[in-house]
Structure 1
Amino acid sequence: MKDPAPGPDPIDLPFDGEGDRRAEEQAVGVASFILSLRARGIRDTALLRAMELVPREVFAPRRFSDLARTDVALPLPCGQTMTGPGTVAAMLLALRLAPGQRVFEVGTGTGYVTALLARLGAEVATVERFSTLAESARQHLRIVEAGKVRMEVGDGLALRPRERFDRILLNGTVAGIPEAVTSLLAPAGRLVGALAVEGLPRLVTVVRTEEGELRQEIGGPLRLSPLVRGVAETL
């Protein structure tokens, strides 16, 4: 009786232990990140879910990627700052966004907040004064496949006739809310940003009533850089 023909040599499949370890560390980091937001009083389920699913590390400068899921602001090119997640969450919570609403965002930055707005179901028009940041933000938003986003380089504090938005988000501090911006609020619209009060940024909410009246409310302190008028000429 003949011996059976030898079968094919077994294939040695490599064990990707390093990949598994990184995935586990990432999952732990995301869980810790969300718990830290909850500890700050952020309880909105949709907002927490959006901040879980939108990877801040995609938007953070590469040299600070290990800090992306921590509640710290990060330095950006053009002398700008990527706002800390706790501040972002507080502002988005105050915005009271509903899916399908039109949002005007002043100060695109890295595009991280833009992606969160889109994840929450908004139709976003965002303006960035630095072309360098705008180009990076476009790339970031493509990577995460953000939803309905229209971005441009320009002055977000300038007059924009014939446009109306349900929500406006100012990603920075202003000395006063420009009328050119409040004029964009639709009836029952809501604006959130930071207002310099005695030299310190504080959360500000402006609501346009159904009758067209503007009502302003000042909240707690925020860590937000100033918003500057105009378009950057060289960056």
Structure 2
Amino acid sequence: MALDQQRDEMISVLKDRGITDHAVLQAMHDVPREDFVLPSFRDDAYADSALPLTHKQTISQPLIVALMTQIMELQPSDRVLEIGTGSGYAAAVLGQLAKEVITVERIGDLAITAAETIRKLGKRNVHMRFGDGLKGWPDDGPYDAIAVAAGGDRVPNALFDQLAIGGRLVIPLGPRQDSQKLIRIRKIGEDRYVEDDFGGVRFVPLLPETD
């Protein structure tokens, strides 16, 4: 099946699985996922499954990217922080919807490859940063939304601090990889928030904070 047909089929699957936001569906359609996967997995780019990257990392399945994006409730004026660039695919999707995306990756090879792919696609509002995502990226904050593409047992304090009042933070939380829940935290005050649970997920773990 041609990639264009596979892309259309992916959108149908996303609709069937509960993705209702038209802007999110359009962004998922417009970003060529095949450009972000390893060459050996190009024919599987639009399968609804995670695919391996180098350094024991993965590109999340399309449903998870779409769900995280949908529950972030992005507006065209929003500034977004993404923790864990990986391939750069989710950052490119976010860049279709938000004014600006700052994406942080701590694995150098992944950061270089993602930055090059994003540059080739002309995503000038997506900015790559190399560093420890647990520390966020305070120089460009605060952010209207933060997406964390790795799981942990708590929200890093630095990320909550960099979230604007009214902002949304989406993160997989759980004590183990097999017991994670996708959580949205909406900041309603300096030390106040409301939390919503969007069900079970499975992400690679957040790496320990560096000095």
TM-score normalised by the shorter chain: which range applies?
A: over 0.9
CA distance in 1, matches of 2:152, 2:106: 15
Moved beyond 3 Å, runs of 4+: 159-162
For structure 1, the 5+ residue unaligned runs are 1-23
**TM-align CA RMSD:** 1.7
CA distance in 2, matches of 1:192, 1:73: 18
Q: 2:112 aligns with which of 128, 135, 147?
A: 135
Amino acid at match of 1:128: E
Matched, 1:88 2:54: no
1:178 is displaced (CA, Å) by 1.2
Amino acid at match of 2:48: D
CA distance in 2, matches of 1:159, 1:138: 18
- Where 1:100 maps in the other structure, the secondary structure is coil
| TM-score after normalising by structure 1 | 0.83
Alignment-derived partner of residue 34 in structure 2: 57
Question: 2:105, 2:111 within 8 Å by CA — same for their partners in 1?
Answer: yes
Question: 1:127, 1:154 within 8 Å by CA — same for their partners in 2?
Answer: yes
CA distance in 2, matches of 1:30, 1:78: 27
1:34-113 correspondence to structure 2 within 5 Å:
34-113=11-90
Q: 2:180 aligns with which of 201, 208, 217?
A: 201
Percent identity reads 37
Q: 1:126 aligns with which of 103, 115, 132?
A: 103
1:154 is displaced (CA, Å) by 0.5
Distance 1:160 1:145, change over 3 A: closer
Amino acid at match of 1:206: I
1:218 is displaced (CA, Å) by 2.4
Q: 2:160 aligns with which of 162, 182, 188?
A: 182
Question: 2:181, 2:198 within 8 Å by CA — same for their partners in 1?
Answer: yes
Q: 1:216 aligns with which of 190, 195, 201?
A: 195
Amino acid at match of 1:58: D
Alignment-derived partner of residue 226 in structure 1: 205
Q: How many correspondences in the alignment?
A: 208
Alignment-derived partner of residue 6 in structure 1: none
Please give the per-residue CA displacement for 1:2-45, whole angstroms capped at 9, x wherever unaligned: xxxxxxxxxxxxxxxxxxxxxx8232212111111111111111
1:147 is displaced (CA, Å) by 3.2
- Where 1:38 maps in the other structure, the secondary structure is helix
| TM-score after normalising by structure 2 | 0.92
